[in-house]
Structure 1
Amino acid sequence: MQCFSVTEHCAVTPCQDPYFQASYQKVSVFVSSPSFPLYTRTCMNCSVLRVVFCCMLTRYFFFKVSTGKRPSIPESGSKVAHDIRQRYFSFFLEEYFKICSTVNEAIDKALIEEKSIYDRCGSKNMYLNIAVKTLKKLRDHGRWKFLYLDLTGAALYELLKDYLLTKEQLNENNFPRPNPEKNGSAIFNGIIKKAVSFRRVCCRCGKVYTVTSSGKHARKEECNYHSGRVLEQKVPGGLEKRYNCCEGIVGSAGCQVAKLHVHDGRRENLEGFMKTFIKSPPFDGNYGVYALDCEMCYTTQGLELTRVTVVDSKLQVVYDSFVKPDGEVIDYNMRFSGVTEDDLKNTTTSLRDVQAILLNLFSADTILIGHSLENDLFALKLIHDTIVDTSVMFPHRLGLPHKRALKSLMADYLRKISQDDVDGHNSSEDAIACMELTLWKVKEDKGRKW
């Protein structure tokens, strides 16, 4: 249980109701904070009104706050049995506790609601019909109130635990893992790869080319490639694969021309990795929740980091920096990165500088959010296990290795257009988009439970 400002001390009273017994946790003080809502529930067996303090919006703690009987409706008439009226009054009361700011307000509204239904009905069946519809509306209202809660801090951290990637998922998605045989080295999916000396495979057109000992091209050759993805389209008689950049069929000549071939290299150069540190637990249990995104360019060493952005759960940028690559730049990849030669002209920040800053900002338990975050961690040469990945949170219908684009997810779920600028991607926009998608998913999933 997290500690905030202690406003009231309450002795925990065990309850015989199985619902309460199943969720009962032994705590001795009632701790509250404006950040966390209070809900209440009336025990149906012992008739004690109890406060349900949702410490992390997922863990429930029960406290006896009134030794008196639960509120009851007065006996009147015989068209509907009193126990039926009392049962639905209790249901209404429970829902109003989620909506109202005080207990008395909730009780008054529940009494008025039940009395209104009773006065309008002419029979038991009519009463039940109206009561059920009213209860559904109240529950929907309570759910929407949950959806608009400002989820930040420890509450968000606790909720996101349900979405963390497992060790199996980290391996399936090729996240960098620590090499048990060598400190500062990484492996992925159990594989240790080394670059073949002087031979590279162009990651754009697929051709093999040679380089010198310094990584420069042995022979200058234009790269003719397709910049888009291969998509399957239905045609008479079956399916046809075409590039979405130019509608060219697979195997057709490329629609883009670059001066030189380039290679990725991130999964071949597996040295110089740092692992986030285990740090002392924070007072409130919140190790931090951040979304990050990186931009990269092609150099003689492969894809290297050129910009990194980190945003918090309030969508505020907490770190944003251009980064000077170690190798000589071959292609700034501006079409996708948005980073230009002018952006890096006076940049002195190195990858090692970025690693030092992020290791200070993050701990091993900090939740990092991103889209296909394994690519960013390879660029950062960072090993981290506490991951929420929106490409896994919103999986492709065909499963791995297929993944949905961030732009597509933003359009489908948030009705927003992302990464649609002619100047390329923007790492801050992409990081914010990942955080927004994650917050939407949490509220959507958890809201259904109410």
Structure 2
Amino acid sequence: EEPPSCPTPLRSSSCSRGPPFCPLKKIITLLLSSQPIPTKRKAKMRPEVSAKVPHDVRQRYVNLFVEEFLKTSVTVQDAFEKALAEEKTVYDRSINKLKYLSVAVNALKRLKNQSSVSLSYSFSAEGDVALYDSLKEHILSEEILMENNYPLQHPEKSGSAILYREDYKKGITDPLKRICCRCGATYSVNQVGKHTRKEECNYHYGKGVEKKVPGGVETRYSCCEGVAGCPGCQVFKLHVHDAVSLDGFVSTLPRPGSDKGCPGVFSVDCEMCYTTQGLELARVTVVNSSLQVIYDTFVKPDNDVIDYNTRFSGINEADVKGTSSSIRDVQETLLSFVNAETILIGYGLESDLCALKLLHGTVVDTSVSFPHRLGLPHKMTLHNLTADYLRRIIQESVGGHDSAEDAAACMELMLWKVKEDGKTKRW
């Protein structure tokens, strides 16, 4: 859709006769002199020969982009240069006016989202300095990152990640075969990942738990108390697999040398759904150290969804179909306030970073900071950690997990940990 026919002109609070029509060079001069753009008359313009998008439409979006960049830029000139670059990118991606309007509207939506996140971040960053210093000892080393299967930069392929821990499911060599992550059955797919035939999946959604019984120990499923090996208590129309594509990754960037502030501390939690290509991001939530949600969005997967996994993700079809945000939009927003030194907190954060396709090494993992007494591969669940240390029950909703609740729980656990560490050090 087209933007409002009467957008607010740059540096001006009202508009009575439609959008400003000024040459781009004239806008530069006006911005640098902090003068409002004239709205009383139309400027004479020389449209480009065979222009695919009318010049006045492009100008309109330059103005709208500048308004957003002014919220986060140090100088007006900086905001204008960023706006011109943004508009040029939109123009280059468009083959006609209709496509331009679609891309421009999405770009404007993303910029509005980024500016609101930046404002929330600047509000909380001042109080993060002490917390950041206290959390440094909990940042995972590269060895622990590898041990916990965190995605790391592929040594040979730019934009790709590598996982160093072998997975038994990767043992299949046939590219048209998959192993169901629920029931363990092997099934066939076509070239685009769709099932070659419909086959019901009979499975248990709970884990096997060992329990003492007279004469020994037996394993029962936590979902239905069924004995290990008994038929599944749940049925789904198709098999699903939980592979994650290791292409399309982006890396957080080094902090600018001129930036002397706190790099930031945030807690992240993602929800995923099953698609024809495995697990894909469906929602991401970021919480700051004040437990405020500063970023929360549903995400439209790149591939066809097989199961929204609502029991665990809390995501349903309406949530995903009601958003236009892609994983690339999410990556761009995150990179606008997360740099390589920013501490990201989470539970089993390796799966979240894989879902986000984000390469980031400054992480604090609550499953590592609060280890299981038996050591790896055993891990305390976030539900149990929150109950044991925060005396609070989470993940009890029948509608599935809430990523905001889980992200806040991880932040609270580390705040508790830092406080306890401080008590020990005083002695």
Question: Which letter does structure 2 place at the counterpart of 1:385?
Answer: G
Deviation at 1:236, TM superposition (A): 2.1
* Closer, same or farther: CA 281–432 of 1 in aligned 2, 3 Å: farther
TM-aligned CA distance change 1:237 to 1:151, over 3 Å: farther
Q: Which amino acid aligns with 1:399?
A: G
CA contact (8 A) 1:154 1:284 kept: no
| Contact 1:300 1:328 survives alignment (8 Å) | yes
2-structure distance, mates of 1:436, 1:368:
13
Aligned to 2:308: 332
Aligned pairs for 1:235-250 (under 5 A) are 235-250=213-228
Please give the alpha-carbon distance, in whole angstroms, between the structure 2 residues aligned to 1:437 and 1:338: 22
Change (3 A) 1:191 1:281: farther
> C-alpha separation between the residues in 1 aligned to 2:347 and 2:397?
18
Query: Where in structure 2 are the equivalents of 1:204-283 lying within 5 Å?
Result: 204-266=182-244, 269-281=245-257
What residue in structure 2 maps to residue 203 of structure 1? 181
Task: Output the CA distance in 2 between the equivalents of 1:358 and 1:226.
Answer: 36
Q: CA deviation at 1:283?
A: 5.1
Residue 135 of structure 2, aligned match among 156, 160, 172? 160
Deviations 1:229-276 (A, max 9, x none): 11111122222111111111211111111111000111xx21111111
Aligned to 2:361: 385
The one-letter code matched in structure 2 to 1:302 is G
SS of the residue 2:152 aligns to: strand
Q: Give the residue type in structure 2 aligned to 1:152.
A: G
Please give the alpha-carbon distance, in whole angstroms, between the structure 2 residues aligned to 1:282 and 1:251: 60
Deviation at 1:215, TM superposition (A): 1.0
Q: CA deviation at 1:281?
A: 4.7
| 8 Å CA contact retained: 2:279, 2:355 | yes
- Of the structure 1 ranges 383-392 and 282-291, higher mean CA displacement relative to structure 2 is found in 282-291
After TM superposition, the score normalised by the length of structure 1 is 0.64
4+ residue runs over 4 A deviation: 190-195, 281-285
Instruction: Write the deviation string for residues 257-316 of structure 1: whole angstroms up to 9, x where unpaired.
Output: 1111000111xx211111111122575541000000000111101111000000111111
The secondary structure found in structure 2 opposite 1:408 is: helix
Paired residues for 1:99-178 under 5 Å: 152-178=127-153
Q: 1:286 aligns with which of 262, 265, 288?
A: 262
* Gap regions ≥5 residues in structure 2: 1-124
Instruction: Return the letter of the residue paired with 1:204.
Output: R
Whole-angstrom CA distance in 2 between matches of 1:151 and 1:232: 47
| C-alpha contact 1:224 1:253 (8 A) present in aligned 2 | yes
User: 1:343 matched to which residue of 2?
Assistant: 319
Q: What's the secondary structure of 1:250's corresponding residue?
A: coil
Mapped to 1, the partners of 2:226 and 2:258 lie a distance apart of 55
Distance across 2 between alignment mates of 1:276 and 1:431? 20
TM-superposed CA distance for 1:189, in Å, is: 1.3
- Number of paired residues? 299
2-structure distance, mates of 1:303, 1:196: 19
* Structure 1 pair 203–401 and aligned structure 2 pair: CA distance change class (3 A): same
Name the SS of the counterpart of 1:160 in structure 2. helix
Amino acid at match of 1:175: Y
- The aligned residue for residue 346 of structure 2 is 370
**1:430 matched residue in structure 2:** 406
SS in 2 for 1:246: coil
Instruction: Return 5+ residue gaps in structure 1 as ranges.
Output: 1-149
Query: How far apart in 1 are the matches of 2:150 and 2:182?
Result: 22
Q: CA deviation at 1:163?
A: 0.5
**Contact 2:149–2:165 (CA under 8 A) maintained in structure 1:** no
Per-residue deviation at 1:448? 2.3
Aligned residue type for 2:185: K
Give the Cα separation in 2 of the matches to 1:166 and 1:214. Answer: 38
Change (3 A) 1:281 1:231: farther
Question: Match of 1:222, as an amino acid?
Answer: E
Deviation at 1:196, TM superposition (A): 3.7
Larger radius of gyration: 1
User: How far 1:360 sits from its partner (Å)?
Assistant: 1.4
The answer for the alignment partner of 1:395 in structure 2 is 371
TM-score normalised by L of structure 2 = 0.68
Given that 2:395 and 2:401 are in contact with CA atoms closer than 8 Å, whether structure 1 keeps it comes out as yes
Which whole-Å CA distance do the structure 2 matches of 1:236 and 1:248 have between them? 17
**One-letter amino acid matched to 2:135:** L
**d(CA) in 1 for partners of 2:347, 2:257:** 27
Determine the C-alpha separation between the residues in 1 that align with 2:384 and 2:127: 26
- Give the residue type in structure 1 aligned to 2:308: Y
Letter in 2 for 1:187: I
Provide Cα deviations, 1:127-171, integer angstroms capped at 9, x if missing partner.
xxxxxxxxxxxxxxxxxxxxxxx9931110000001011111100
Q: Give the strand-richer structure, 1 or 2.
A: 1
1:186 aligns with 2:158: no
- Asked if structure 2 preserves the Cα contact closer than 8 Å seen for 1:309 and 1:317, the reply is yes
* d(CA) in 2 for partners of 1:232, 1:309: 34
2:387 alignment counterpart: 411
Distance 2:299 2:354 in 1: 15
The answer to whether the Cα contact below 8 Å between 2:205 and 2:223 also exists between their aligned partners in 1 is yes
Structure 1 distance, partners of 2:322, 2:402, is 20
The Cα shift of 1:446 comes to: 1.2
Letter in 1 for 2:203: Y
Please tell me the residue identity of whatever aligns with 1:406: L
SS of the counterpart of 2:422? helix
Identity among equivalent pairs (%): 60
Maintained 8 Å contact 1:287/1:366: yes
C-alpha RMSD of matched pairs (Å): 1.8
